[in-house]
Structure 1
C-alpha cells in the first residue's frame, strides 16, 4: 500500500512537470456519458444538461487536487445559482483514502466515486487532476490538465463565458 501511494505521488509530480499547459484544445463534441455513483444516489452526467458543468477527476494522493478543492468550492458557491455545477470524480481504488481527503478538504458539490477507473478510461485521462468544462448543451468545451493557482482567474473567466452563452 505504501509503495503504491509513493509511486502515485511520483507520477503526480512528473505529470505536473510534464503538463504545464493548463488548457488543452478540445473540439466541441458531446461529453461522453458517465453514470456517477454519488454518496447517496446514482445519476448520469446528462442529468446536468442545461447547466455548465466543471467535471473534475481527482485522487487523494494528488497535490494539485488539494489546491483545487477550495477554488472549486468557491466557484460552486459563487455561480451555483446561475446554473453552474462542479462534479468531482474520485479515482482512488480505496474509498477510505477519498474519505480521509474529504474530511480535511470537504466538497460543497457532488462527489462521485469510481474505484474501477472506468470514467478515466472513457475520458482518456493523461494526468491528475484533469477537468472539463461542459456547456449547457452537454458539449465538451475546455479541458484543463493539472491545476495552476496562477490561472484561477482565467479558469473563472471560462466559466463566466459559458454561463453567458
Structure 2
C-alpha cells in the first residue's frame, strides 16, 4: 500500500526538480557520452522525430552550428528516438551537420530529464549555465541573445 505522505510529497515536488538546473554539474558519464570539450560552450539539443517543434527548430540550429564555428560555441544533438533507424532518417532528412548522439536506450535523457521537447542545455566546463524547454518561436534570436547574456563574444 502506498502511504499518503509519499503521494503528497510527489504532488508537491515541482516537475522541474527532476531536470538539471542552471549551476549544476552534469555527470562525467554524460560529459563523456556527449564528447564535451571543456574549452567550448556547448549547446545540447534534445530532439526526436515525433517532435513537431524540433522539425522547425533543428534546421536553424544546424545553420547556427556552421555560423558559430570557431567562436568557442558548438552544438551537440541528442536524438531520443527509440528506433535508431527512424532517428537516423530524420537527421538525414534535415541535413544535420552538427554532431548527434543517438540515445535509443534513453540513457542521456534519463540523466538530464528535460521537462519539455525540444530541450536546450547550455554547458560550459561540465556545468549547466542555461536551460530552455519547449518550442521557441524565433530560436535563432533566442540562442544569440542567450549567448550575449552569457558573455559570449561573437
The runs of 5 or more residues in structure 1 that have no matched partner are 1-23, 37-42
Q: Is the 8 A contact 2:36 2:42 kept in 1?
A: no
CA drift of 1:62 comes to 0.6
Q: Is the 8 A contact 1:90 1:114 kept in 2?
A: yes
Secondary structure of the structure 1 residue equivalent to 2:44: strand
Secondary structure of the structure 1 residue equivalent to 2:69: helix
Within the candidate set 13, 29, 32, 2:27 is matched to 32
CA drift of 1:35 comes to 4.9
RMSD: 2.3
Deviation track 1:10-37 (CA, whole Å, cap 9, x = no partner) reads xxxxxxxxxxxxxx9943121333458x
Is the radius of gyration larger for structure 1 or structure 2? 2
1:146 is matched with which residue? 134
TM-score normalised per structure 1:
0.71
CA drift of 1:154 comes to 2.5
Secondary structure of the structure 2 residue equivalent to 1:102: helix
The runs of 5 or more residues in structure 2 that have no matched partner are 1-18
Higher strand share: 1
1:83 is matched with which residue? 72
Matched residue pairs, number? Answer: 134
